[in-house]
Amino acid sequence: METITLNNGVQMPMLGFGTWTVRGKKGEHILREALDVGYRLFDTAFLYGNHEIVGKAIRDSGIPRNNIFITTKLDRQFASYTKAKAGIAQAQETLQSDIIDLMLIHEPYAESLEMYQALEEAYREGTLRAIGISNFNANLYQKLLNHCAITPAVNQVENHVYYMQTDLQKVMEPYGTVMQAWGPLTEGKRPIFTDPILQDIAKAHDRPVAQIALRYLVQNGIPVIPKSSHRTRMQQNIDIFSFSLSPDEMATISLRDEGQSLFNWFGPDWI
Ligand SMILES: NC(=O)c1ccc[n+]([C@@H]2O[C@H](COP(=O)([O-])OP(=O)(O)OC[C@H]3O[C@@H](n4cnc5c(N)ncnc54)[C@H](OP(=O)(O)O)[C@@H]3O)[C@@H](O)[C@H]2O)c1
């Protein structure tokens, strides 16, 4: 698995497994499959209600913990300094992991700065290996930069061929904040798998469209966390490091970018 070096030196896999909607007994089975297929980064959140099964699947797999990267996120229920501190402790307990690889603020809240201060303290104590944010636009990112002591390692945002957020990526680049893609396959909002441009390129490589869509992001330096509940699709999605897209293909796909969110899901502006 290729990795990307975060701005504090930590290595993060370029591809991980999204766990939104992965719950219950079926979820346990899906997580076992994902580990078996070779996924080593798991993206979860308190909002997903699956910390326990993610932690259990990782522990039961017998794979050394330091070979796995766990990302989780603090949401509104932890929106204060004290609540964020409690959230970090709760994540350690529910994920059955003393150390969490990456913790993000799930979206901008009025209390983001004090929440981030709690993350910084846990980072300094060694509980969190890296810290960051999610769904922060360029303005809110800049505002956080003006107030924080530790530059976010990651900003996880909506990102796919139709919404590349290149401007945001450019703003964060000088600070080494990595833009990580959620919804890299559009979460079903678009019929991406029958997109004629992607289909043509997929045909030329004799590969599924999903691989073209994910490879395009990775080749632009954007780590991805696709989710699938099907083993064959998990296998497809992870197999994107043994081929590359030509400069012409990259340029053609870049024309699919509409510069518009498919979700219009922005956190409240805390300014
Ligand atoms: N930070 C945030 O605010 C935020 C927001 C949303 C999501 N996320 C994270 O990002 C992860 C990924 O996003 P997502 O789950 O929303 O959407 P996604 O990964 O873009 O798309 C998942 C959908 O695509 C289907 N799919 C996956 N691989 C496929 C393939 N090879 N061929 C055909 N269909 C395929 C899946 O169906 P099947 O499962 O039936 O295969 C599922 O319906 C989430 O799971 C979560 O961890 C974060």
pLDDT in tens, 30-89: 999 999 999 999 999 999 999 999 999 999 999 999 999 999 999 999 999 999 999 999
Instruction: Give me the residues paired with residue 13 across strands.
Output: 3
- From 182, 198, 214, the mutation candidate for ligand 1 (largest count of ligand atoms within 8 A of CB) is 182
Domain count, the chain: 1
**Rounded distance between C-alpha atoms, residue 100 and residue 239, angstroms:** 26
The pTM is what?
0.97
Domain contains 267? no
Ligand 1 proximal residues by C-beta, below 6 Å: 18-20, 43, 106, 134-135, 156, 182-188, 193, 208, 210, 225-230, 233, 236-237
Six token digits for residue 91: 């994540």
How far the first Cα of the chain sits from its last, in Å, is 39
Mean pLDDT of 3-28: 98
**Tokens 């992991």 found at:** 97
Domain contains 128? yes
Domain contains 1? no
Domain contains 24? yes
Domain contains 271? no
Six token digits for residue 8: 């504090």
CATH of the domain at 93: 3.20.20.100
Instruction: Give me the residues paired with residue 42 across strands.
Output: 17, 70
pLDDT for res 271: 45
Domain contains 237? yes
pLDDT for res 264: 80
Domain that holds residue 134: 11-254
Domain contains 4? no
Q: Answer yes or no: 48 catalytic.
A: yes
Greatest alpha-carbon pair distance for the chain in Å reads 54
Residue 21 alpha carbon, nearest atom of ligand 1: 45
How many CA atoms lie less than 13 Å away from 110 in the CB half-sphere?
Answer: 1
Q: E strand or H helix at 29, and its extent?
A: helix 24-37
CB neighbour class for 29 (10 Å; exposed up to 12, middle 13-18, buried from 19): middle
Q: Calculate helix-pair angle for 247-254, 196-205, nearest 10 degrees.
A: 160
